[in-house]
């Protein structure tokens, strides 16, 4: 029965479902890598009843873990009462008002006013447009350029794609948008040179993830963002922090920027705000920007999604934040992150082909290298095989092979010590397998 259903779904999937960020070739040959049917805690179950640790919180987002009935209950109640009503033309609803207020209380500094979206890409498009609009209102219409970093990922809407530093996403089409520029990853000097070369009076904003996720969990040097903030202030450029992955506890603090003691002018968020229980994201803007809008904007704010301020999604967001607070999940992310790093370091001592290991909260990476001293990579990346093997052993992970050979980690923030140990045991077993079957033959 299960085999029959699986075959049927596989055929239908191949014919009718164009998957996001997927190798079409692989899907057409093999069908879906797994068809999930249930989630509970850190575990996912597939059609055949096989259980997996969701080592990536799916897409770095299921922060409170799967199968939360209390979220389902508030969602049911909200949907039955008021699933949706418009927020255009100043219409409003209580969940949106309450969630905006709650987020304003959590975000650092004077980041106090929220624009809602349905996800991270929309959030970054919104942040870019809000920054450019700010300069129009301020009478500096030439300030339209956006600077982002190489190895950054900001999503796949038009603005977000063009701000994304990982070139493969931009190469997907052949029509780049004007006014996007990419500065070498962690160099403040390069950023200054770029701003001066472009002309500071033409730059609207600099956008950066606090810790790059899809680019390989790249943790910047301690002073990087302080220097960036100073540079932006010197040239009057807006600083947008893309907290889509790092927001809502992932790094052991509410927001990634808090590690660096820096308050950006805008923060985009998504993922962890609802832990994937509803499609939700947004941008928080500073009081300075909000006041400018309030004072100078005369017509309509010509930007809004049908689902901006979606009542059901906002109610889900509120319950999700309630769980993060009540269960001390941010604190758990910090302490489990340290334990995860200790586990990675023990593996690093055991296997010579592990290069750098790093974590910040429950966001982590293990790099695979041919030569630890020189950082030389294997000719063919090992990490894709590695994650196939961990999957066979019940652990879902993800790789980054863009200029590196890295396995990345983002388990749910509810992770217990016993569950972490189980993850580490699977990693150890898989590293041993790779050592015997691949490394020994190199
Ligand atoms: C840092 C960052 N920004 C933006 C996005 C895009 O978010 P979404 O996929 O919800 O549009 C992602 C998605 O992974 C992300 O990691």
Which sequence spans correspond to the domains of the chain? Answer: 34-67+328-441, 69-327
- Tell me the C-alpha to C-alpha distance, in Å, between residue 69 and each of 24, 40, 61, 356: 35, 10, 17, 39
Ligand 1 pocket test, pick from 153, 162, 251, 272 with the greatest ligand atom count within 8 Å of Cβ, gives 153
pLDDT at 1 over 80: no
Task: Give yes or no for residue 72 having a pLDDT over 90.
Answer: yes
Handedness of CA 243, 217, 330, 423 (dihedral sign): positive
pLDDT at residue 402, rounded to an integer: 86
Atom of ligand 1 nearest to the CA of 270: 10
The candidate with the shortest Cα–Cα distance to 99, out of 307, 276, 309, is: 309
Residue 267 Cα to ligand 1 midpoint, Å, equals 13
Query: Cα–Cα–Cα angle for 280, 282, 283, nearest 5°?
Result: 170
Q: Is 214 in the pocket of ligand 1 (CB under 6 A)?
A: yes
Our answer on whether the CB atom of 215 is closer than 6 Å to any ligand 1 atom is no
pLDDT of 442 higher than 90? no
Residue 400 Cβ < 6 Å to ligand 1: no
Fold type of domain 69-327: 3.40.640
What average pLDDT does range 8-31 have in this prediction?
97
Report how far ligand 1's centroid is from the alpha carbon of 352 (Å). Answer: 33
Residues whose CB is less than 8 angstroms from the CB of residue 78 and which lie 6 or more positions away in sequence, other chains included: 95, 311, 312, 315, 316
Nearest to 281 by CA among 439, 145, 127, 153: 127
What is the H or E stretch that residue 111 is in?
Answer: strand 111-117
Q: What is the pTM of this model?
A: 0.98
Residue 191 to residue 289: CA distance in whole angstroms? 23
357 Cβ closer than 6 Å to some ligand 1 atom: no
**pLDDT, tens digit, for every residue of 146-165?**
999 999 999 999 999 999 99
CB 55 within 8 A of CB 396: yes
pLDDT at 2: 87
Q: What is the pLDDT of residues 22-33, one digit of tens each?
A: 999 999 999 999
The two counts, helices (H) then strands (E), for the chain are: 15, 15
| 395 close to 426: Cβ distance less than 8 angstroms | yes
* Residue 17 CA from chain centroid, whole number: 24
Closest ligand 1 atom to Cα of 118: 10
Atom from ligand 1 closest to the CA of residue 209: 1
- State yes or no: pLDDT of 137 exceeds 90: yes
Average pLDDT on 355-362 reads 98
Q: Is the pLDDT of residue 63 over 80?
A: yes
> Strand ranges (DSSP E) for 309-432?
354-359, 364-368, 395-396, 398-400, 406-409
| pLDDT digit string, tens, across residues 181-232 | 999 988 899 999 999 999 999 999 999 999 999 999 999 999 999 999 999 9
What integer pLDDT is reported at residue 419 of this predicted model?
A: 98
pLDDT tens sequence across 253-280: 999 999 999 999 999 999 999 999 999 9
Helix axes 311-326, 329-350, angle to 10 degrees: 70
Q: Residue 249: which pLDDT band, with cuts at 50, 70 and 90?
A: very high
| Nearby residues of 123 by Cβ (< 8 Å), 6 or more positions away | 117, 155, 242, 244, 268, 269, 270, 281, 282, 283
What's the farthest any 2 CA atoms get from each other in the chain? 69
Q: Which CATH architecture does the domain made up of 34-67+328-441 adopt?
A: Alpha-Beta Complex (3.90)
Centre of ligand 1 from the C-alpha of residue 123, in Å:
9
* Gap from CA of 207 to ligand 1 centroid (Å): 13
* Partners of 297 in the β-ladder: none
Helix orientation angle between 287-296 and 120-137, rounded to the nearest 10 degrees: 60
Those residues whose C-beta lies under 8 Å from the C-beta of residue 50, and which sit 6 or more positions away, are: 34, 394
| Beta strand 36-40 pairing with 43-46 | antiparallel
Distance 154 CA to ligand 1 centre (A): 5
Choosing from 60, 149, 154 the residue with most ligand 1 atoms within 8 A of its CB, the one to mutate for a pocket test is: 154
User: d(Cα 103, Cα 111) in Å, to the nearest integer?
Assistant: 9
In short, whether 154's Cβ falls inside 6 Å of ligand 1 is yes
- Residue whose Cα lies nearest atom 13 of ligand 1: it is 155
State the closest ligand 1 atom to the C-alpha of 122, by its place in the atom list counted from 1. Answer: 11
| Ligand 1 in reach of 124 Cβ (< 6 A) | yes
Among residues 50, 49, 53, 74, the alpha carbon closest in space to that of 62 is found at 53
Chain Cα centroid distance, residue 198: 29
Half-sphere exposure for 175 (CA within 13 Å, toward CB): 1
Statement: residue 441 has pLDDT above 90: no
């Amino acid at each position: 029965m299960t085999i029959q259903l699986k075959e049927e779904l596989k055929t239908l999937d191949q014919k009718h479902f164009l998957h996001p960020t997927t190798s079409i070739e692989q899907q057409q040959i093999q069908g879906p890598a797994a068809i999930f049917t249930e989630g509970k805690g850190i575990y996912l179950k597939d059609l055949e009843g096989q259980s997996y640790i969701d080592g990536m919180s799916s897409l770095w987002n299921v922060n409170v873990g799967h199968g939360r009935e209390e979220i389902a209950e508030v969602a049911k109640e909200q949907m039955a009462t008021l699933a949706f009503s418009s927020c255009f033309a100043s219409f409003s609803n209580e969940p949106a008002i309450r969630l905006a207020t709650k987020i304003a209380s959590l975000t650092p500094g004077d980041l106090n006013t929220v624009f809602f979206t349905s996800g991270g890409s929309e959030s970054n498009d919104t942040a870019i447009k809000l920054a450019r609009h700010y300069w129009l209102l301020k009478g500096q219409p030439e300030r339209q350029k956006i600077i982002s970093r190489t190895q950054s990922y900001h999503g796949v809407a038009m603005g977000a794609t063009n701000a994304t530093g990982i070139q493969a996403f931009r190469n997907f089409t052949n029509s780049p948008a004007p006014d996007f520029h990419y500065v070498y990853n962690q160099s403040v000097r390069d950023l200054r040179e770029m701003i001066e070369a472009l002309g500071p009076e033409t730059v609207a904003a600099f956008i950066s993830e606090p810790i790059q996720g899809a680019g390989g969990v790249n943790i910047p040097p301690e002073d990087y963002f302080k220097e960036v903030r100073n540079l932006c202030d010197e040239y009057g450029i807006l600083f947008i922090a893309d907290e889509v992955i790092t927001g809502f506890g992932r790094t052991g603090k509410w927001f990634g920027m808090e590690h660096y003691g820096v308050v950006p002018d805008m923060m985009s968020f998504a993922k962890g705000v609802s832990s994937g229980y509803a499609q939700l994201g947004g941008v928080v803007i500073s009081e300075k920007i909000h006041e400018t809008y309030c004072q100078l904007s005369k017509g309509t704010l010509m930007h809004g999604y049908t689902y901006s301020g979606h009542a059901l999604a906002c109610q889900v967001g509120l319950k999700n934040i309630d769980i993060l607070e009540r269960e001390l999940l941010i604190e758990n992310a910090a302490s489990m992150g340290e334990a995860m790093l200790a586990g990675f370091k023990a593996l690093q001592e055991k296997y010579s082909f592990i290069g750098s290991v790093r974590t910040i909260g429950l966001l982590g990476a293990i790099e695979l290298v041919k030569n630890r001293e020189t950082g030389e990579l294997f000719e063919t990346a090992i990490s894709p095989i590695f994650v196939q093997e961990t999957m066979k052993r019940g652990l879902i992970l993800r790789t980054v092979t863009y200029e590196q050979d890295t396995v990345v980690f983002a388990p749910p923030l509810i992770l217990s010590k016993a569950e972490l140990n189980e993850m580490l045991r699977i990693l150890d077993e898989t590293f041993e397998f790779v050592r015997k079957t691949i490394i020994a033959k190199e």
